[in-house]
Amino acid sequence: MVLRFLTSGESHGRGLLAIVEGLPAGVNVQEEDLRKGLARRRRGYGRGGRMRLEKDRLTVWSGIRNGKTTGAPCGVSIENEEWEQWRPVLDPARCDAANTADAAVSCPRPGHADLGGAVKYGHRDMRNVLERASARSTAAWTVAGLLAGCLLTEIGVRVRGAVLSIGGGETAPPESEAEWEAAMASDLGCARKSAEAAFTERIQEAEETMDTLGGTFLISVTGLPPGIGSYAEWDRRLDGRLAAAIMAIPGIKGVEIGEGFRLGGLPGSLAHDGIVPNGKGGFKRLSNHAGGLEGGMTNGEEVLLTAVMKPIPTLRKPLPSVDVTTGEAVSAHRERGDTCAVPAACVVAEAMAAWVIAAAVTEQFGADRIDDLRRRFKDYVDETGRFLHGTD
């Protein structure tokens, strides 16, 4: 069974739905862990009033019984706290004409899906576009990724993220287990208190000037043996699948693996990771410029991806736009938004990376029962370990 998920729902609609298909039976899933994971997505200084309002109340409808997956599709819903307020505008059966007119969007926001979506689907009220294109939908993506993460936990694979920069200010990646734990617990995803304070100050300055900030974050995957993914076909290459999943997150404008774009400025003699004997009959790497991925497959090193998020395009001082109903030059539509959502995007990227890794693992080792998958995965880890690392 191929691992896949579908989502539905609008930003201010009744709620969000996620259906996850293909999880093996027997995976340990605790609802409280899902709630904590969703709460991390709401984190971050600089989030707007919406995130302070939303509680992301989660309901599991199917596919999990007594804390374990059954092998059936998992259905999960997340409530939107403001649904009753927005019901007159977004009711599926009948909308109130006056309220609908007040909430209509005819002045597209540069940097959003508003204009392209209106042209594609023939909408003159871009409310129909922004409700689905909103990053609110990533709450459902995060649930799918959290479920995938439960599978990965069963086989000892860990996905983590850390914020590296906000608004031009930078910090180094986590360099120890303690720093990774700090980053995962930090409200801004920072490994160091000094960076968190500096980023907070930059966000405060942006709020005061009614502007927004972007930044970068790092995703780390540990516990993977070599050979996950494939070079056989373009769409099975794990690096491409990971990059596509993270690029799909609203606001993400670039993804690099390992040293990424910096490799373009190095000679080949310095860009690649030498392989030398480890003294035990196996091999080891001298570096990890490749970020754990070569030829579309894992190579046994830590998988490292960095992504860049643009500043949020919903501005309190709107950019120039055009009213599509009149053709007049106007300011872009104003919608409630965040000053900075880089820490939240990092959490969503963790979820999407977990999803892609779990999909690749289930494709390679089977996915009917977690005990079967766990055994096959362990056998493969042991076999590749003997080949690569040798014995004492």
Domain residue ranges of the chain, discontinuous segments joined by +: 4-389
Report the percentage of the chain scoring pLDDT > 90: 82
**Helices 138-154 and 370-389, axial angle in degrees (round to 10):** 70
Distance CA 343, CA 334 (A): 23
* Residue range 29-47, pLDDT digits in tens: 999 999 999 999 988 887 7
Amino acid occupying residue 57: R
Amino acid occupying residue 377: F
* Residue range 247-290, pLDDT digits in tens: 999 999 999 999 999 999 999 999 999 999 998 888 999 999 99
> pLDDT confidence of 1, banded at 50, 70, 90?
low
* Residue range 175-199, pLDDT digits in tens: 999 999 999 999 999 999 999 999 9
Q: What integer pLDDT is reported at residue 378 of this predicted model?
A: 97
Options 3.40.630.40, 3.60.150.10, 3.40.50.10890, 1.10.10.10; which CATH number does 4-389 get? 3.60.150.10
Q: What integer pLDDT is reported at residue 44 of this predicted model?
A: 83
Q: What integer pLDDT is reported at residue 343 of this predicted model?
A: 97
- With tokens 């872009």, the residue in question is 332
**Do residues 368 and 23 lie in contact, with contact meaning Cβ atoms separated by under 8 Å?**
no
Distance CA 346, CA 216 (A): 8
* pTM, rounded to two decimals: 0.95
What is the rounded average pLDDT for all residues in the chain? 93
**Do residues 280 and 268 lie in contact, with contact meaning Cβ atoms separated by under 8 Å?**
no
